[in-house]
Amino acid sequence: MNPMSRVMIGSLLILAWPAAHAVDGQKIFTQGGQNPAAMACLGCHGPDGKGIAAAGFPRLSGLSAGYLSKQLDDFRSGSRKQPVMEPLAKALSDEEIRAVSAWLSTQPSDPVTGVRRQQIASNPTERLALYGDWNREIPGCVQCHGPGGAGVGEHFPPLAGQPAAYLVAQLNAWRDGSRRNDPNQLMVGVAKAMTDAEVTAIADYFAHAAHQEVAP
């Protein structure tokens, strides 16, 4: 390496200094935020961010940054209620919310099997997932949440690979009105039209969607 390139690299490092000092999303995830009350995410969401199914703690890895930061903002403002997450989100700064959301969105998640809409549903749950029930104005889950429930853009989070207990809890929260931070109230009507049995069955369907073998 010649002296000139040393200078170049040196100045690049100096120029990059502010960026290196910027909030580190991964560090927030693994160690928590600046404020000690902002505890590390991995404690509940798992070291890989894929959630802890047994406890019903949701998967965060691979969710869109826009969706994640909106949820944290909503916990902070109280427009999404959750006794554990509300104080944690309040302890995070704006910058920390953007940083941890951005980092999580780049983390790998389990591949979703290519459940496509052209399948003829083989049971009522699959039918609801793929096509919905328009007599009750329920669109198919995959119409908004994407093929296999993989998620679409920043407004429609993945269902695939979320713990069943988490999905049940959210659907019930939409139904009883304790969660209402959905854009345009798109989810609340759908959840209210579902039966208890459907809530359980659909949650189970998507919780396992990421682990099913792809048929050759």
Partner 1 sequence: MKTLIAALWLSAGVVQAAEIAMSDQSQLKVPDSQATPVFVPPAESELPDNAFGQMVRQGHALFVDTRRLMPEAVGNGMNCSNCHLDQGRMAHSAPLWGAYPMYPAYRKKNDKVNTYAERIQGCFQFSMNGKPPAADSPQMTALSVYSYWLATGTRTGVETPGRGYPEVPQPKDGYDFKRGEQVYSEQCAICHGGKGEGQKVAGEYVMPPLWGRDAYNWGAGMHRINTAASFIKHNMPLGKPGSLSDQQAWDVAAWINRHERPQDPRLVEGSIEKTRVKFHANDGVNLYGQKVEGVLIGQGTGG
Q: Which residues would be at the binding site for partner 1 (CB under 8 A)?
A: 116-118, 120-121, 127, 131-132, 134, 137-139, 143-144, 146-147, 150-153, 155, 183-184, 186, 189-190
CB 71 within 8 A of CB 80: yes
For residue 206, give the nearest of 53, 20, 39 by alpha carbon: 53
Q: Which is nearer to partner 1, 44 or 188 (CB)?
A: 188
Least distance CB 60 / partner 1 (angstroms): 19
Q: Which is nearer to partner 1, 25 or 151 (CB)?
A: 151
Alpha helices, DSSP H only, in the chain?
3-21, 25-31, 42-45, 65-77, 85-90, 94-105, 124-131, 141-145, 164-176, 186-193, 196-207
Q: Which is nearer to partner 1, 102 or 152 (CB)?
A: 152
Q: Which is nearer to partner 1, 6 or 117 (CB)?
A: 117
Is 132 strand, coil or helix? strand
Tokens of 136: 């009750």
How distant is the alpha carbon of residue 64 from its chain centre? 7
Least distance CB 117 / partner 1 (angstroms): 5
Least distance CB 32 / partner 1 (angstroms): 33
Least distance CB 46 / partner 1 (angstroms): 24
